[in-house]
Every structure is written in C-alpha cells, then in structure tokens.
Amino acid sequence: MKKSHANFQVMKCGLFINKDHPFLHATPDFLTSCDCCGLGCGEVKCPFCIQDANFEGYIRLKNSCLVKTDGVFKLKREHNYYHQIQQQLVTLKERRHNDFVVYAVDHKGNAHLVMDRILPDEQHWTKVLPKLEAFWRICVLPEVLGRWYTRRCMVEVKGPSDDSICFCRSLRNEDTVACSNEECSYGRFHTSCLSLGDVSIPNKWYCPHCSRLQQFKRYSRKQSGVNIKAKAKASASTHPSLLHGTICICKVKATMSDKLVECHGPDCTNGNFFHLQCLGLKRMPTNHKTTWRCYICRTTRKANVPLPTTCSSSTSESSSSENDSDSIECVGTSQGYQNKTEALANLTNAHFDLIYSPNGWLDCDIIQQAHILLHNENPNIEGFQRPTPGPVRNFNIVSGEFVQILHTGNSHWVCVSSIGCLPGHIKLYDSLYDDAISQEI
C-alpha cells in the first residue's frame, strides 16, 4: 500500500459512537489516510474454513463471504459483513471508503490477502436504519431504562400526573387501543408504539404490562385447563385399554383414571397395558410411545433370538452327529472389539445440506463427526463415543473428565460433561430441559 499510495498511514482505533444516532456504534480494525484516496477505514476477517489459502475453494462454501466477479474476489452484498461495513461508513462520515480484507495462511506459513474497497451505499442504509430504530425503541430502550423485560411485575407503575397515555406519556392524534384491565396505570396505548398497526385487536386485550400480572395468568391457565381436561376426558373414553377384558399382571379391568404404559410387543399376553404401580415405576419410560416392552415380552424375545455363529473346526464324526441330532456343539467362542470413537460413516453432500439447512435434523453420522473434531482439539478429554450404543451399559467406562452428546429421542440432542464438576456430578446442557431426561441420565 505504501508503494502505490502517497504518504500512506495506518492507525489503530477503538469504538466510535454515531453522532446522529447515538444508539449505533462502529469498531473498525484500523484507520487509513493517504494523499491520493483521503481518509478511510478497514475491516479484517480471518475465516478458519479457508484451508491452505485456497480462496477458489472457499467461495464455493455456502457460508463464504466472498464471490468472484469478473475474475476478482469481492464481498457479497447480502452478507452480514456488508451490513457491518456500511454501519462503519455511516458512523465515520469523514471516511470515504472501507478496505475489506480477508486473511489466510498456506501450508508453508505464507500470508495471502484478498481486499475489496467498499464505498458508502446510501440506498442500503435507508432500508436498514428504520429497522434499527424500531429495534432500539421497542426492545433495547425499555430494558435499559426500566428493565421492561426482566423486572418483577409486582412493582407498582406510577401513573402520569396529566392526561398523557401510553408508554411514551404523550398525547398524539393517532389510533389508540385500551387495556382491558380497568386498573391499568397506562390506560390507553398508541398502536404505533406497540407496532399494532396491521394487527387485529381482540375484544379482551391486555397491555404488555398487565398480561404478565399473576391474576391474568391464572385466568388464562384456568381457561386452558378446562379445555385440556375436556380433551383428556374425551380421549380417555375411547382409550384402547378399555377394549380389553383384563390388563396388567394384576388381571383387572382398566378404568379411565388408571396410569398405564403400553407394551409394544406384538404377542403380549397381558392385555398390552400395565399399571405403573404394578411395575414399580414412578414415571413413564422414555420410549413408552415407541418400543417399550414388558418384561415377559423381553424375555420371550431374547429366548427366540438365534445364537451367533462361531468359528470352529469340524471332523467327520461331528458331521455325522449333526445329521442324527439338531443340537449344535459349541467348541469355541471369541469376543471382538468395537472402536466406539470412530466415525460411523463418511459425510456426503446430503449431510452437508442438513447442516446448512436451518430446518435440518442432525443424525448420528453428523454428531459423531463433531465428536471426532472435538476430540482432535481436546485429546486429553475422554468421552466422544458414538451416540448409537443406547443404554448406558453399552458405553465404555471413563475415569477422567469427559464430554458426550446423547440422543434422547424425538430428534433431540443433549450434551453431558464432567468438566469442572465434583466427583459423582455432571453438567447437563439441554435447550429443552426436562426432569425426565435428567433422571434418565
């Protein structure tokens, strides 16, 4: 740059506040100046997915920020980095351009750079600014001033001393909507302040404050509880267990109030339904809707499973004895070893489509590849076993700190770890926490 620009200088910088919109800021990586181009700024990105400085391969990735146009690498105008750079140029109005730089290193340790000079885009900013202002006014500002989304609802709200209404405490010639709570401290609200311009308002409507009060929560729960009980009563009257003469090991007639678990064995001789109390269970098994079998069906199923073949040597005498009898004499057994930390399968394009898709469901092949990558980065951490063994007895016993991703059913994954825990304790990371999952682990 110093060779191609006169009096070129690079300076470090920090955070800059937008003077026209103080709720916006910019943090460029550096500032530049030269006699030929004037003042500018820059942003540097170092994507880890660029292997061996192969920018040609990088642009073919779905998450790539670059695109090749007329043989030149450029920043995608629809990428998030483009929004970031435009906000820097709007905040630093004296800066005429932004040098977007992508940095990569090849296998020899040599640095490779790709640079694209971005100019201010007024049309882009006029579309984005109203959205940022709305997010600041509706989401951020109420939380900063009064902890609107995290405060306790029993704190009293002081009403206005004049005739002003709404959260904005002002009188404007606009459409308003009234809160159904007669004791609401705000009374009426501007539909524009709540972004309700294109929304139909029900006859009984509560403002964002009153809808969180306990008395109105009890009202909604009571109404929903009645509907739930009515639906449960209707479904209980047609429950399949009522069609059997007797059920369970206690051999009694089923009633609508019984807590039953269904056996999915095709030849179950106990009416296919069992009382939880008779089985000594306090809750439903995790697989009660899919593959759960009673102990009688499990015992019968194991008895009908054919014996595995074994390597053995036979003689003419043993061959003749086989013709005389159906019994098989086992002359030797061997036990194999299964590496439970190896990959289940090589990932295909279909797997990568699932990963990139926001609606894709990850399968065991993808999770195990993630295990392998994590173990390569953390070789001293145990675990990372295949998520397919099933019951806990099928996993290898570990003695040190471990990390393991588990499948709980219904296409849901959780992570358990003993890192930083006391002996006998683990941490469960679950976005849909359920006590049943915790007890099972």
Q: How does pLDDT run across 73-99, given as a tens digit for each residue?
A: 999 999 999 999 999 999 999 999 999
- The better pLDDT of the pair 438, 257 is held by 257
> What token pair was written down for 19?
């003077």
Do 14 and 103 belong to one domain?
A: yes
> Is residue 171 domain-resident?
no
The answer to whether 140 and 149 have CB atoms below 8 angstroms apart is no
Give me the CATH number covering residue 82. Answer: 3.90.320.10
> Is residue 251 domain-resident?
yes
Q: How far apart are CA 342 and CA 371, in angstroms?
A: 9
Question: What is the average pLDDT across 299-320?
Answer: 47
- The better pLDDT of the pair 190, 270 is held by 190
Do 288 and 359 belong to one domain?
A: no
Do 374 and 286 belong to one domain?
A: no
Measuring CA to CA, which residue among 207, 25, 24, 15 is closest to residue 130? Answer: 24
100-114, 135-149, 294-308: segment of lowest average pLDDT: 294-308
Do 24 and 97 belong to one domain?
A: yes
Question: What is the average pLDDT across 112-119?
Answer: 94
> Is residue 218 domain-resident?
no
Do 378 and 286 belong to one domain?
A: no
Estimate to the nearest angstrom the gap between the alpha carbon of 192 and the chain centroid: 33
- The better pLDDT of the pair 318, 231 is held by 231
Do 366 and 288 belong to one domain?
A: no
Do 24 and 115 belong to one domain?
A: yes
Give me the CATH number covering residue 262. Answer: 3.30.40.10
Confidence (pLDDT) at 311 = 43
Q: How far apart are CA 82 and CA 121, in angstroms?
A: 10
> Is residue 379 domain-resident?
yes
> Is residue 288 domain-resident?
yes
> Is residue 212 domain-resident?
no
Measuring CA to CA, which residue among 330, 262, 252 is closest to residue 291? Answer: 262
Confidence (pLDDT) at 317 = 42
Is the predicted pLDDT of residue 318 greater than 50, yes or no? no
428 beta partners: 416
Confidence (pLDDT) at 220 = 45
**Position 67 confidence tier, pLDDT thresholds 50, 70, 90:** very high
Q: Per the structure, how many domains does the chain have?
A: 3
Q: Which domain holds residue 414?
A: 349-440
The answer to whether 403 and 381 have CB atoms below 8 angstroms apart is yes
Question: What is the average pLDDT across 9-36?
Answer: 93
Confidence (pLDDT) at 105 = 93
**Position 319 confidence tier, pLDDT thresholds 50, 70, 90:** very low
> Is residue 169 domain-resident?
no
Phi/psi at 115 (5° precision): -125, 140
Do 354 and 299 belong to one domain?
A: no
Give the helix/strand (H/E) hosting 217.
helix 214-236
| Mean pLDDT for the chain overall | 79
Is the predicted pLDDT of residue 441 greater than 80, yes or no? no
Q: Which of 104, 120, 136 is the C-terminal boundary of a domain?
A: 120
> Is residue 108 domain-resident?
yes
Give the helix/strand (H/E) hosting 88.
helix 80-91
- The better pLDDT of the pair 365, 289 is held by 365
Question: What is the average pLDDT across 167-174?
Answer: 79
Do 38 and 94 belong to one domain?
A: yes
72 beta partners: 69
The answer to whether 100 and 42 have CB atoms below 8 angstroms apart is yes
Confidence (pLDDT) at 110 = 92
Give the C-alpha distances (Å, rounded to integers) separating 387 from 336, 352, 390, 409, 410.
20, 19, 7, 12, 14
**Position 166 confidence tier, pLDDT thresholds 50, 70, 90:** confident
Q: Which of 75, 94, 120 is the C-terminal boundary of a domain?
A: 120
